[in-house]
Structure 1
Amino acid sequence: MYLAEAAAEAGTGNPWLNIGVFLAFIVVTMTVVMRAGRTTKEAADFYTGGASFTGTQNGLAIAGDYLSAASFLGIVGAIALSGYDGFLYSIGFFVAWLVALLLVAEPLRNVGRFTMADVLSFRLRQKPVRVAAAFGTLFVSLFYLIAQMAGAGSLVSVLLDIHDTFAQAIVVAVVGVIMIIYVLVGGMKGTTYVQMIKAVLLVGGVIIMTILVFVMVKGGIGTLLNSAVQTHASSATIAKEGYQASDILNPGLKYGGTFAKDLDFISLGISLVLGTAGLPHVLMRFYTVPTATEARKSVTWAIVLIGSFYLMTLVLGFGAAALVGPDRILGAPGGANAAAPLLALELGGPIFMAAIAAVAFATVLAVVAGLAITASASVAHDVYAAVIRNGEATEEEQVKVSRITVVVIGVVAIILGILAMKQNVAFLVSLAFAIAASANLPTILYSLYWKRFNTVGAVCSMYAGLGSALLLIILSPAVSGAKTSMIPSLDFAIFPLSSPGIISIPLAFLAGYLGSVLSKPDNLDHLQAEMEVRSLTGVGVEAPVQH
């Protein structure tokens, strides 16, 4: 009780101090990006940093790419408000990483060069597969970008204590422009260095916050959970919703109680666990190391950092529930996304809050940069160079098209991010995972492990998965029909589930199977054999593919 009352009396720190720390961080990271960007001359430099990073460096960068605003801002807020059900995001994101490593990471690295479409089109007809893969990459990247933009807007709004919706929209736009500049200047090299810096700072900051949470509650995990229950017991919001305070420790506070919510829970879990194996911006990181040995080394570093981080989100989430409380979290700009910075304010005061917020901003910045490069590489390398120019585009042309794509997708993400400001960023990222698992994963697995798979099957799988996921999201409560929807004034939510994965993922697998068995083979058996050798051994990775 005392903890919650003390938290309620605090504000959001000193806005001028917050913005000062923020600007200093932007200047430092921009300097790093500009120095790295001086060596970005060729397409390989822009897309993969010239495959010049060590396994340790790439492991840090993978963690920096994977630990997004959803991991820090969204999950802490979800656990603080929904307890047990919020921790599902931590479990899902971590288990998903293991699935990606076991099934696709090294084979993809051995077969591809720049993008996921390199793998999907390896033993199939190039043009239709590359176009379909590019659409999948663009929409996954776009939904992920929307979440990061919404998280950045929430974060800066909390720092500057901005409650006005129009002012928050301006914040999202300004942050978006800064991020576009980072990518245009630095390419993959600059982005990787920012991701490495961000991974070290984020994990270090979370360790410090975890220790301070236990110091503040004066006990261990049991004391922390009891404090969270006590704070929820005094919460007007929890009482208004009709929940028991102890529900924060039990399943069902957010997902459960009705058949539709049970299905939504299952759908979300499926999307989270299978989504990472289809995320182009994470898979693309394996092309930034020179050998398969370094790729495996980078995986080891990434597992240690990512696993440790997600365990600590449990402490931070319940720490926010105990020390900040749901009433203050929901009353702050950004709602649930404000839990982590408000917890930092309680633990260490305004300076500590500003520092943690700067780290969180680095989190958003690094992930957005990686996403933008992945989307731009897909358009320039897969559509422009391979399809429009029939493989005759120069590397300078590809980089130019990439940079134009960065600007276009950045502007679209800003607009949609403004519409999604009230959504929990962890939930928004789960939609990107659902699209990735639907549009990309079935085709990746079929390409790597099923000899009968052909071009028709690939195209059917990707378009069926992508189309059904997008349609179900548009018709879900995430877009309309609820207070936190993107368009709350309208209601065309005829699909009751917020996550489409339970329908769109099996549909994509079925479409790939039927498309393959009901159509003629591609008669490219020599490429299938070469792909199998490359994926398992890494032999011939640098050699071009002859169709």
Structure 2
Amino acid sequence: MTTPTAAPPATPQVGSPVLNISIFALFVVITLIIVYRVSRGPRTANDYYAAGRSFSGPQNGIAISGDYLSAASFLGIAGAIAVNGYDGFLYSIGFLVAWLTALLLVAELLRNTGRFTMGDVLAFRMRQRPVRAAAAISTLVVSLFYLLAQMAGAGGLIALLLGVNDNPDSYFDGQSLVLVIVGAIMIGYVFFGGMKGTTWVQIIKATLLVIGTAVITVWVLGVYGFNLSALFEAANAGATDDLVNAGNQYGTSTTTKINFISLAIALVLGTAGLPHILMRFYTVPNAKEARRSVQWAIWIIGIFYLFTLVVGYGAPALVPGGTTAIENAPGEENSAAPLLAYELGGTLLLGIIAAVAFATILAVVAGLTITASASFAHDVYANIIKKGEVDSRGEVRVARITVIVIGTLAIIGGILALGQNVAFLVALAFAVAASANLPTLLYTLFWKRFNTMGSLFSIYGGLISCVGLILISPVTMGREDAIFPLQNPGIISIPLSFILGIVGTYVGSREVVSEQRFAEMEVRSMTGAGAAGAAED
């Protein structure tokens, strides 16, 4: 006799599902109208990939912060702080400091040297086909890792706000259905709006996110008389661990301490290798505006991450049941910020914050998707398959088809990643970006002897080692069965990629390296001379 499988327990419902969905639907309708209006006009590759280079530094800076402040920043980091305290705040510090690397090493140089993608920079003085293929593969892998985090955040948020069950006996349930809807909306943004429509969605989303988080921050501080010490004491009272002192997550053993160092390296170096951030530098008309973009982004992102400290500690302080209730809620750690909003402002504030969180996810996945599609269409299709003999409209058509494919993969991957902390998943994407992309970019820009073989060794070596270590780490195999003990492989894969770049350069030493092309790249990257010509369609 077969015992019937017990139905999963009903997910507790927070707030009003009708209100939550209504506010989110209003945001989607407004942004879709904006995307439609701004996307009318020329359909060249320059318009679709780089928005005609028509955005100012401040506009692009806000859009960059919209691209960067993802579900990991709003949901994941707040949850990590709520559960692990100081150790969770390390994510905020790492994500912010990373922008100094991007500002000092790549922002202006990349804008002066490239056209649409990272592959343009590498191909400037290397053999086109192999380095463009490597750059495209790296871009697609990093984008998919990042997409998993955003879609996982969407699933957890839906579970909390709509009382949708996650059925352990099936990969396709209520949360999965919602992920399909979110993915379809995202595909619509990118398919019709291109970079211009996506940028305006990110500007609107960044503005709403900072304002919404500021409201919660001021509200929480007001509850405790704007006294941080009182807030920390209340948070500790509602927590199962000491949230003020370090060590909850990364101080329990030698392995966790090494894992912290690995995480820090990945976060600080990863931003300068993230393809969807690098691509944003091409939407401004010149290098000066690229610098202004980063300066604006640093200010906005820095202020936001200070807000996450208050939001993170405010959740265990004010949510009934503290960290225990947060960890047991649908979405687990990722539910800390929405639960806090509900405790402060009830159904209305929760509905607004939920809409902001949805907007965050939609805007970031749109940015990632257009980056991945541009890399495939521009680097692989136009320059490898067609060898540059394709018109701009044909290239854009392939980019749109790629959007649909990548969006579908993101939905499938998001369903498989449900329940993971989104900040943690994004940290893995940073490790892959820092391992595969950053060493190659730096060598290309600054080392005269660097050649095609060196770039291939660096990209593929960094990519394979990073992803390979993730596959045999506790992330995928569990703590008991893991072969590689660290959750983040950056401490191994990033230095290895730098070393492999050197090894590959000397292995391919017979390759003729054009000193003239390097000199041209050096002048262009440092002064911007000739960059306008490279930007023309």
Q: TM-score, normalised by structure 2?
A: 0.94
**1:185 maps to which of 182, 192, 204:** 192
In structure 2, the partner of 1:118 is 120
Q: Deviations over 1:501-544 (max 9, x none)?
A: 11111111111001112322433111101000000000001334
In structure 2, the partner of 1:168 is 175
In structure 1, the partner of 2:429 is 432
**1:531 maps to which of 509, 521, 525:** 521
Counterpart check, 1:517 vs 2:524: no
In structure 1, the partner of 2:3 is none
Aligned-residue offset at 1:480: 2.6
Q: Deviations over 1:290-328 (max 9, x none)?
A: 112222222221111011011111111001121122122
Moved over 4 A (4+): none
Higher mean Cα deviation, 40-49 or 73-82? 40-49
What is the root-mean-square deviation in Å for CA atoms of aligned residues?
A: 1.4
- Listed as ranges, the matches of 1:97-116 within 5 Å are 97-116=99-118
Higher mean Cα deviation, 161-170 or 405-414? 161-170
Question: Number of aligned pairs?
Answer: 516
Maintained 8 Å contact 1:80/1:321? yes
Higher mean Cα deviation, 424-433 or 216-225? 216-225
Maintained 8 Å contact 1:153/1:175? no
Maintained 8 Å contact 1:36/1:186? yes
Aligned-residue offset at 1:163: 2.9
**CA distance, structure 1, for counterparts of residue 124 and residue 260 of structure 2:** 36
Aligned-residue offset at 1:219: 4.1
Q: Deviations over 1:143-189 (max 9, x none)?
A: 00110111111112211122333211222222111111111111101
**1:209 maps to which of 213, 216, 222:** 216
Give ranges in structure 1 of 5+ residues lacking alignment: 1-9, 233-237, 239-244, 483-490
In structure 1, the partner of 2:142 is 140
Letter in 2 for 1:103: L
Maintained 8 Å contact 1:216/1:347? no
Counterpart check, 1:480 vs 2:477: yes
**CA distance, structure 1, for counterparts of residue 226 and residue 43 of structure 2:** 55
Counterpart check, 1:459 vs 2:442: no
**CA distance, structure 2, for counterparts of residue 364 and residue 385 of structure 1:** 30
Give ranges in structure 2 of 5+ residues lacking alignment: 1-11, 168-172
Q: Deviations over 1:235-290 (max 9, x none)?
A: xxx3xxxxxx3x21111101122121111111111100000010010011110011
- Listed as ranges, the matches of 1:100-499 within 5 Å are 100-165=102-167, 166-232=173-239, 238=240, 245=241, 247-324=242-319, 325-481=322-478, 493-499=482-488
Maintained 8 Å contact 2:13/2:160? no
Higher mean Cα deviation, 289-298 or 430-439? 289-298
- Listed as ranges, the matches of 1:72-91 within 5 Å are 72-91=74-93
**CA distance, structure 1, for counterparts of residue 106 and residue 512 of structure 2:** 23
Aligned-residue offset at 1:498: 0.9
**CA distance, structure 1, for counterparts of residue 413 and residue 130 of structure 2:** 28
Letter in 1 for 2:128: Q
Maintained 8 Å contact 1:452/1:521? no
**CA distance, structure 2, for counterparts of residue 304 and residue 501 of structure 1:** 27
SS of 2:478's partner is: coil
Maintained 8 Å contact 1:124/1:522? no
**CA distance, structure 1, for counterparts of residue 63 and residue 181 of structure 2:** 25
- Listed as ranges, the matches of 1:30-69 within 5 Å are 30-39=32-41, 41-69=43-71
Letter in 2 for 1:411: T
**CA distance, structure 1, for counterparts of residue 293 and residue 17 of structure 2:** 38
Q: Deviations over 1:64-85 (max 9, x none)?
A: 1111110111000000000010
**CA distance, structure 2, for counterparts of residue 522 and residue 181 of structure 1:** 46
Maintained 8 Å contact 1:37/1:190? yes
**CA distance, structure 1, for counterparts of residue 430 and residue 236 of structure 2:** 31
**CA distance, structure 1, for counterparts of residue 414 and residue 473 of structure 2:** 18
Percent of matched pairs sharing the same residue: 60
SS of 1:478's partner is: helix
